[in-house]
Structure 1
Amino acid sequence: MQVFEIGRINRLVIKKIDAQGAWLASELGPILLPEVECPSGIRPEDRIEVFVYRGKDNSLVATLQRPRAQVGEFALLQVRQVTKHGAFLDWGLEKDLLVPHTEQTEKMLEGRSYLVKVCRDSANRVVGTAKIERCLETEKVDLQPGQEVDLIIWKFTDLGAKVIVDHLYEALIYRDQLGSGLKRGDHLKGYVDRIRTDKKVDVSLQKGGAEGIDVAKQVIMTALAESMFLPLHDKSSPAAIQQALGLSKKLFKKALGGLYREGLVELTPTGIKVKNVRSPNDAQ
């Protein structure tokens, strides 16, 4: 019999089809995909990808709908209702996701959004938890510098933004690398910058190394192609560089140094211009 996971997308075999819908084989017995969700043309023995969870009567139900997060994943979800059992969050399915009071770090309020992890409780029910630190791996960090990773903005600090990496690890994006408009719960791509001796992880939104510098050079030259002059230099603030080019100051300086050595740009007291092209400030 097929092994499947409650609270995740599974590929199951259709055993029979009747007026109720399609019955899917599982190690816990047949699971119903309701008739209203059945795609046209399906037949017994076909395989179909479905999300499996417990419905309102606690029976296993299959759906073609996709939740905003599966078991093992984090997401920013809005509270629809608060009862004596806990907070019920909208995760994209008919049945809301319960975050019990014991799994809340603060009293959840209706209409507010919270970052939670979807998990299974001791009774194998799919629930959410807001106790983020407890869910993150700290003993073994299986990451490599330069590796591309998926990030979720967790919270902002004086140093920058704490993020969740690949739904497993905590990491930090330093303030000078943060773009404008980022908010808690945003999903984005990033790159592992370094893994410190205390197993803390630093990540960047731009690639490091030679490849990252080459990309940054292209960004600068593209911007110069439009205006022939950029009012930026090595004394510009990280925020100004980030807003104009989407680059960290560290990467900007490395790329700018490379372009200067290659003879492609000229540095002036007020900014950067393409070599042999007069900037607007030159005439002043």
Structure 2
Amino acid sequence: MIQIGDYNTLEILRDTEPGLFLGDDDNNEVLLPNRYVPEHFEIGDTLKVFVYLDNEERIIATTDEPYIKKGEFAMLRCNEVTKFGAFLDFGLVKELFCPFKEQAFPMKKGGWYLVHCYLDEVTERLVASSKTNRFLDNKDLTVSQFDQVDIIVSHPSDLGMNVIVNNKHSGLIYKDNIYQDLSVGDKLKGIVKKIRPGNKLDISLGQIGYRNIEPNADKIMQELQDNSGFIPLTDKSNPELIKNQLQMSKKTFKKAIGTLYKKKLIEIKEDGIYLKTQD
């Protein structure tokens, strides 16, 4: 079955005046217009194409890659707002429609919005919604504590920053665990720090416990190497200074320099940390 709103690998069936007709194993066909036809091809070759409805509501294929596909989240720019709703640029000739009822806040031309893309089952059109929370579900978690996950920054709250986890679940990075600038739509790697009652996910941008010692030690070593073997920080430094220079907490910093000190890679003096000269 040809999947609308997703990539399909289809066979070239025939070459016609408007373009190539592609098909799947179930005898379904879709047109690849001439503007997307590759320079060299043979009947029977397969092509990876994105399938959607064009401006005339006809199902077509394209070799262009959209910024978002069915079931995904992404930051998109609003090109126009009409009496019907907003139209977003998602990288194809046709724009992605976001009706007013699917807008968490009224969209404005030129604004950027985090949206979810889904298929309207009645019209078979791809539609956007900025009410992203309703597409997330923590009832049946597919992650465990300490798992590395893909996150998308969703929106700030009084507690910290809400994130989308693995395109499926909602999570939260608490303020105390944020050591870098985050913006809505940022895509990052995170770690499941804790699973609270109700399957609430606490997410960390670093690794947890003993797991974070080595990566942060490496980061400090890199910082030393980039700064002629010296960093003006010690275990007595202000937490804000540590956060600003290394994007880590003072507790994490102390663990990391402790590891480096035990390995005899650094010297800790009153004015800062020195990279130890190896014999």
**TM-score, normalization: structure 2?**
0.89
Quick one: which amino acid aligns to residue 120 of structure 2?
D
In structure 1, C-alpha distance between the alignment counterparts of 2:4 and 2:39, rounded to whole Å: 25
Quick one: which amino acid aligns to residue 25 of structure 1?
G
Residue 43 of structure 1 and its aligned partner are, at CA, apart by 1.8
In structure 1, C-alpha distance between the alignment counterparts of 2:157 and 2:234, rounded to whole Å: 27
Task: Please say which of residues 39-48 and 66-75 is displaced more in the overlay.
Answer: 39-48
In structure 2, C-alpha distance between the alignment counterparts of 1:89 and 1:191, rounded to whole Å: 32
Q: Is 1:221 equivalent to 2:221 in the alignment?
A: yes
- What does 1:46-195 correspond to in 2, within 5 Å? 46-123=45-122, 124-195=124-195
Decide whether aligned partners of structure 1 residues 16 and 276 sit closer, same or farther in structure 2, where only a CA change above 3 A counts: closer
**TM-score, normalization: structure 1?**
0.87
Mark the runs of 5 or more structure 1 residues left unpaired by the alignment: 278-284
Query: Equivalent residue of 1:220, what SS?
Result: helix
Dislocated runs of 4+, deviation >6 Å: none
Identity value in percent: 39
Task: Please say which of residues 21-30 and 267-276 is displaced more in the overlay.
Answer: 267-276
Decide whether aligned partners of structure 1 residues 159 and 245 sit closer, same or farther in structure 2, where only a CA change above 3 A counts: same
In structure 2, C-alpha distance between the alignment counterparts of 1:9 and 1:243, rounded to whole Å: 42
Residue 227 of structure 1 and its aligned partner are, at CA, apart by 3.3
Query: Equivalent residue of 1:257, what SS?
Result: helix
Decide whether aligned partners of structure 1 residues 174 and 266 sit closer, same or farther in structure 2, where only a CA change above 3 A counts: farther
Query: Equivalent residue of 1:48, what SS?
Result: strand
Query: Equivalent residue of 2:109, what SS?
Result: coil
Quick one: which amino acid aligns to residue 33 of structure 2?
P
Query: Equivalent residue of 1:227, what SS?
Result: coil
In structure 2, C-alpha distance between the alignment counterparts of 1:261 and 1:239, rounded to whole Å: 25
In structure 2, C-alpha distance between the alignment counterparts of 1:184 and 1:218, rounded to whole Å: 28
Q: Could you say which residue in structure 1 is the equivalent of 2:257?
A: 256
Mark the runs of 5 or more structure 2 residues left unpaired by the alignment: none
Q: Kindly indicate whether the alpha-carbon contact (under 8 Å) linking 1:119 and 1:128 is maintained by their aligned counterparts in 2.
A: yes
In structure 2, C-alpha distance between the alignment counterparts of 1:115 and 1:70, rounded to whole Å: 13
Q: Kindly indicate whether the alpha-carbon contact (under 8 Å) linking 2:138 and 2:199 is maintained by their aligned counterparts in 1.
A: yes
Quick one: which amino acid aligns to residue 60 of structure 2?
V
- What does 1:235-274 correspond to in 2, within 5 Å? 235-274=236-275
Residue by residue over 1:180-210, the C-alpha shift from the partner in whole angstroms, topping out at 9 and shown as x without a partner, is: 4432111122222222233111222223354
Q: How many residues align?
A: 275
Q: Is 1:16 equivalent to 2:17 in the alignment?
A: no
Q: Kindly indicate whether the alpha-carbon contact (under 8 Å) linking 2:21 and 2:29 is maintained by their aligned counterparts in 1.
A: yes
Task: Please say which of residues 131-140 and 262-271 is displaced more in the overlay.
Answer: 262-271
Q: Could you say which residue in structure 2 is the equivalent of 1:280?
A: none
Quick one: which amino acid aligns to residue 90 of structure 1?
D
Residue by residue over 1:59-90, the C-alpha shift from the partner in whole angstroms, topping out at 9 and shown as x without a partner, is: 10100111111111001111111112111111
Residue 36 of structure 1 and its aligned partner are, at CA, apart by 1.5
Quick one: which amino acid aligns to residue 253 of structure 2?
F
In structure 2, C-alpha distance between the alignment counterparts of 1:267 and 1:176, rounded to whole Å: 26
Quick one: which amino acid aligns to residue 131 of structure 1?
K
